[in-house]
Amino acid sequence: MNRESMEFDVVIVGGGPAGLATACRLAQLSQQHNKDWQIALVEKGSEIGAHIMSGAVIETDALTELFPDWKSQGAPVKTQVTDDEFHYLRGLEKDTKVPGFLIPKPMRNHGNYIISLGSLCRWLGEQAENLGVNIFPGFPATEVLYNEDGSVKGIVTGDMGIDANGNEKGSHEPGYELLAPQTVFAEGCRGSLGKNLMAQFDLQKGADPQHYGIGLKEVWQVDDSVSQPGKVVHTLGWPLDNHTEGGGFLYHLDQNTVALGFVVALNYSNPYLSPFETFQLWKQNPVIKNIIKGGKRISYGARALNKGGYQSLPKLTFPGGMLVGCEAGFLNPAKIKGTHTALKSGLIAAESLAEAMINGEATGELTTYADNIKQSSIYKELHKSRNFEPGLNKFGTFFGAAFTFIDQNIFMGKLPFTWNSKTPDHACLKPADQFEPIEYPRPDNEISFDRLSSVFLSSTNHVEDQPCHLKLKDPTIPIQVNLPKWAEPAQRYCPAAVYEVIEENNQQVFRINAQNCVHCKTCDIKDPSQNIDWQTPEGGGGPNYSNM
């Protein structure tokens, strides 16, 4: 196919905090050194922030490094943490509030801010444009281009106007080739191009497999009487058992607004577990229910997050490119925070790129970026919390939390050993005949809700007549393998009712409702046969989050 190509000095894939920090810092350095570097940033969402979802409590050091006067510039970072609570839930009506001195230090939030990460990214996008960055929203990167020597040449954006059978419609527009000596991959957790690069350059060699969680989130409007802007609440325990890692959060944002959500680690073993239903059940505990009852649910979303930490870090560079942010797995699992490390990695990437370009060394593999990461605060804090995730796997939730307290509060992350977690998350699922199906309560439509009404609140939209972006490597596996062995868990791990097993002509059929997909990537991670390949749909498709 004949495609139009455009050349830049740097191409950045992804409009999240890492990609935008890279763009902003590189543009700042371009001005400081009287250069005219051409920087392009492509984002698959319809606008910057449309696909961004996080808790989110942010540490602001990296933001201050990027924009020292962010407060006066109007950054949407306004609600400082005023109170920090941790509850161990013991049942539907039972909880124990954990004394402050027993909370592991990484989980304390004094000095942090509660934000909408989507709003922060929109603001960062505005700053990037003001600095001269070329931003292309609605242009998903679908393919990596390579030079003859195997180095990365750039990326291709997706074709528009292709029908479900792969034929060109009247509205067809071919994608563009965006070429540069260096391409920065900042797609976020489980990026589709990043996954291919991992295989192409064997970037995970010598590291543990990356581990993941699925995070589900809602935003509610609540009554004045229960609103406490700045209050942070975390929970551990019920409705999960002691062998299934996860927990909940409730953050008081502006007056009358709270963000709440639940994270389930994707190394769970019971194929009947449903993260979505677990989240809905969790809201029934009085710690949460007493805040949101009588309120109004206004947003919903879901997203996978990295949890592997230090031991799962891949090789960060390869000829012609580098990984930043959650594409590289920089989230700190002990803090359950990755925005500050994403921003910091973007700053380091930009400074490494600028040095190379100034010295005329912008081609090839910029190993100085990886060296600079190893000397940074990112590497230090990930190393300090390296045993958090393996500790939970080894001891279970309750005793794993006790180990974390000892490791982080007493030994300050300096215990003389490093544990590993070598089993990929998808391989942790056990056969269905070892478990009883879990009977979750029906939604009451006041506190708990169903999947489809939730997806509606995510403003998810895809062009209907387009190729399905959820590719099955073998279409027979869901019914012939996954259904008899694992009761086809895609019906339950998907938070958006994308996958279902139905009866057609007296036969069981695996149906994919791709139009519901909120781009969480859980199917790509958790499918026990590794048969689902998540790819980018037509540009602009997916959720349109406003304040997530």
- Verify whether residue 421 is a known catalytic residue: no
Please state, in angstroms and rounded to a whole number, the distance separating the CA atoms of residues 28 and 459: 35
**Residue 200 CB partners (closer than 8 Å, separation 6+):** 144, 318
Alpha-carbon distance of 91 to 237, in angstroms, equals 8
Contacts of 141 (CB under 8 A, 6+ apart): 13, 42, 44, 155, 156, 157, 158, 178, 187, 193, 536
Cβ partners under 8 Å of residue 93, min gap 6: 285, 286
Asked if residue 239 has a cis previous peptide bond (ω within 30° of 0), the answer is: yes
Query: How far from 124 is each of 41, 56, 118, CA to CA, in Å?
Result: 12, 16, 10
Tokens read off for 209? 């497999």
Strands (E), 52-133: 57-58, 79-80, 83-89, 95-97, 113-114
Catalytic residue among 458, 494, 522, 536: 494
Reply yes or no on whether 339 is catalytic: yes
CA 183/CA 204 separation, integer angstroms: 19
Task: Tell me how far apart the terminal alpha carbons of the chain are, to the nearest angstrom.
Answer: 38
Which residues are CB-contacts of 337 (< 8 A; sequence separation ≥ 6)?
A: 55, 56, 57, 58, 59, 331
Query: In degrees, to the nearest 5, what angle opens at C-alpha 424 toward C-alphas 420 and 430?
Result: 115
Of 22, 30, 46, 54, the catalytic one is: 54
Q: Which of 531, 423, 427 is nearest to 481 (CA)?
A: 531
Smallest Cα–Cα separation from 312: which of 215, 233, 211, 405? 211
The verdict on whether 428 is a catalytic residue reads no
Token digits of residue 174: 């071919």
Give the distance, in angstroms, between the CA of residue 478 and the centroid of all CA atoms in the same chain: 26
Q: Is residue 520 flagged as an active site residue? A: yes
| H or E stretch covering 339 | helix 339-358
Query: Which one is catalytic: 352, 428, 520, 536?
Result: 520
Active-site entry in 190, 297, 303, 492: 303
The residue from 341, 517, 522, 536 that is catalytic is 517
DSSP 359-385: TT--SS--HHHHHHHHTSHHHHHHHHT
Active site includes 24? no
517 is a catalytic site residue? yes
Mark whether 442 is an active-site residue.
Answer: no
Euclidean distance between CA atoms 503 and 509, whole angstroms:
6
d(CA 122, CA 546): 10
Which of 339, 385, 458, 536 is catalytic? The answer is 339
Determine the Cα–Cα distance for residues 246 and 401; give it in Å rounded to an integer. Answer: 11
In whole angstroms, give the CA distance from residue 199 to residue 22: 24
Task: Give yes or no for a contact between 261 and 270, defined as CB atoms under 8 angstroms apart.
Answer: no
Residues serving a catalytic function are: 54, 303, 339, 494, 517, 520, 523
